[in-house]
Chain A
Amino acid sequence: MPDAPLPKLAVWKFSSCDGCQLSLLNCEDELLSIVGAVHIAYFPEATRAVVEGPYDISLVEGSVTTPEDAERIHEIRAESKLVVTIGACATAGGIQALRNWGDIEQYRSIVYAHPEYLSTLATSTAIGDHINVDFELRGCPIDKYQLIEVLASHLQGRRPRIPTYSVCVECKRKGNICVPVANGTPCLGPVTQAGCGALCPSFARGCYGCFGPQDSPNAPALSDQLIELGMTNDDVIRVYRTFNAEADAFRAESNRLQALPGPSKQGAAK
């Protein structure tokens, strides 16, 4: 047994579906090793026990959508040596960032009979828009092996080895047939960061961008291809405006398409 105390791990939730923190519990083969290497100090989805900060590692899931959460994230930063955001909500605002293109008052009244009961912000924003983040782990949901790599790299005192190239690289390595070239299936693989193992193309469907933009995407060029494959302008706007709609490259491209002349049902560009 090591003499030094185990690093304290905290898992925090903001606006999200719980799927990314579930990825930690989904490490069935590794979970008992993980709890042997870190001290799970705060993880309400899994335990009632609460150990006070400061924490060595904070994993943050979810986006900021309420005034209270916009303050809480600063408290978490102050208590944490390392802040790692996990998933599309925490790194890009998530699917709930679609409100950023809508009218929040109208949204409240569509879903709730008494909008006055709600406390909510007009926008859903990434954790990195509020505090300094030490590492952003992408994906909707994250890949559990990438999460283990991030935790292991920190314990070993090195940078995590998380590729930032495109899904196309993973597809080629896997020996997949290129779905847009062979089948004419629209695919966001060329502009999307790897990490999923080229999952969708392996199932004969086009990538839908759930890991967000790769490090050097050329989205306008891909949009031309998608339109050539039969998608309408509105279809292309919608594929960029899903789980990573507020990631820079995807937001810029959907707004560019929105500003093009012609009819559109997708509301106004921001």
Chain B
Amino acid sequence: MTHQLKDGSQVLQVGMLARVEGEGGMHIEIKDGVVESVKLNIFEPPRFYEAFLRGRKYTEPPDITARICGICPVAYQSASTEAIEAIAGAVTTPEIQAMRRLLYCGEWIESHSLHIFMLHAPDFLGYDSVIEMAADYGPVVEMALRLKKAGNDLMELVGGRAIHPVNVKVGGFYRMPTKAQMLALRPALERGLEEAFETVKLVSTFDFPDMEQPYEYVALRHPDYYAIERGTVVSTSGVTFPVSEFPKHIKEFHVEHSNALHAKFDDTMYMVGPLARYTLNFHQLSDRCKEAALAAGLGETCRNQFKSIIVRAVELAYAFEEALRIIDGWKDGAAPSVPVGPAKGEGMGASEAPRGIIFHRYVTDENGIIEDAQIVPPTSQNQPSIELDLKTAAQKWVDMDDHALTHLCEHAIRNYDPCISCATHFLDLRIKRS
């Protein structure tokens, strides 16, 4: 929508940014062809999780913090269990870690296929939604739904349900699924793996605006695998530290136009998410994933956020590979959990949510009652880079007509798969020209 103001300045406005999780807006001011300011406005109402977690019991964060996000509850459950276990000094078994990774693979598959096909692909193919897309791309949409369902089915098997799983607890799980139950999912996962590689090929044929950004990338790194459920923090500038030092390096701050806190990494802006993981941990992908990525036109690093759709497709394939690997190696009989009692102290945990690093910190008293809680979700951390992407894109394509530029800017935001429900624990899109 375009408004011509009396003073000659111009405002483009989209009342509600669509195909993102949560509510946010954007404000861009252009004067004499120069983009002067860009703001990502997040007006999703605050829900105050960190406040009401105070006084709750140490066993509750996996169930409570899952409710921050219906799309990535496992990210919250993984980071919170790890933080609480750190307080008690509890060490989980390799089987518990494998099962957490399997559950998390389900979430990556569900979330990535949702974003690739339902939220992001319509931008590239020129549709308002996957529903209109289905009329012209019937078999692709059917494949998308099968991929997403495979992820949800995996989450239901391991977690009990796909949204807010019930089987996760501090120390592990209430009950382990059996090998026989897992093998029943194998045919769908094998088909999903092949269709994920088809997805990599398909999305590589899209047209990508040419825009590379020199951001500091921050991701977790696991000693043995492409990090998902845990790891140490690594960055493109070479800084490496354990999750327990996260607060020393990552500082949150509050800006007026957002109900989500912004963050800086060692006083510089940074980015988390698929591009960061891919660039930092490419060497840990399987040979088949690496080949598919290179054949799709990616390098071993990726700095064009519009190409995040290809990176997500590669990670989608990787998550299927990992799920199959874990299932094939599974032996029944492992204890579902280790005991974790109440303990006084401070504990931290982090995992790679589909959108990037999520960090949790808890302080408990001797009865295991939470005295302080801090949750740093990925979209909060990415707000400054989303804003700089908007500024760069708006400047680079400032000669486009308002309608096309507005759409391009929306696309630049959706590149991040922003989860605004997470970040506040919304988007009103405005471009003002004068």
Q: What residues make up the interface of A, taking CB atoms closer than 8 Å to B?
A: 13-23, 25-26, 28-29, 31-32, 35, 40, 43-50, 65-66, 69, 94-96, 98-99, 102, 106-108, 110-114, 117-118, 120, 124, 140-141, 196, 199-200, 202-205, 208, 210, 235, 238, 242-243, 265-267
Contact = CB atoms under 8 A, between A and B. Distances in A.
Contacts, number: 183
Contact of B163 (A22, A111, A114): A22
Nearest to A106: B51
Nearest to B134: A32
B161 interface: yes
Contacts of A22: 70-71, 114, 163
Given A99-B52, A107-B48, A141-B164, 9 more contacts: A17-B67, A17-B421, A19-B70, A40-B131, A46-B118, A47-B128, A49-B132, A113-B254, A199-B160
Contact of B174 (A95, A107, A205): A205
A254 B105 CA distance: 38
B129 A65 contact: no
B312 interface: no
A17 B21 CA distance: 8
B290 interface: no
B256 interface: yes
Contacts of A210: 164
Given A99-B51, A113-B253, A48 B46 contact: no
B54 A110 contact: yes
A242 B64 contact: yes
Q: Is the interface of B mostly helix, strand, loop or mixed?
A: loop
Given A66-B45, A199-B160, A265-B369, A110 B67 contact: no
A17 B57 contact: no
Interface of B: 15-23, 44-52, 54-57, 60, 63-64, 67-71, 73, 114, 118, 122, 128-132, 134, 141-142, 145-146, 148-149, 152, 160-164, 166-167, 169, 174-175, 253-256, 259, 261, 369, 410, 419, 421, 425
B19 A46 contact: yes
A185 B278 CA distance: 44
16 contacts: A15-B44, A17-B69, A46-B118, A46-B130, A47-B18, A47-B132, A111-B46, A111-B51, A111-B425, A120-B45, A140-B164, A203-B166, A203-B175, A205-B169, A208-B166, A265-B369
A204 B163 contact: no
Given A65-B47, A98-B52, A111-B50, A47 B19 contact: yes
Contact of A110 (B20, B22, B51): B51
B301 to A, nearest CB: 32
Contact of B55 (A23, A28, A118, A267): A267
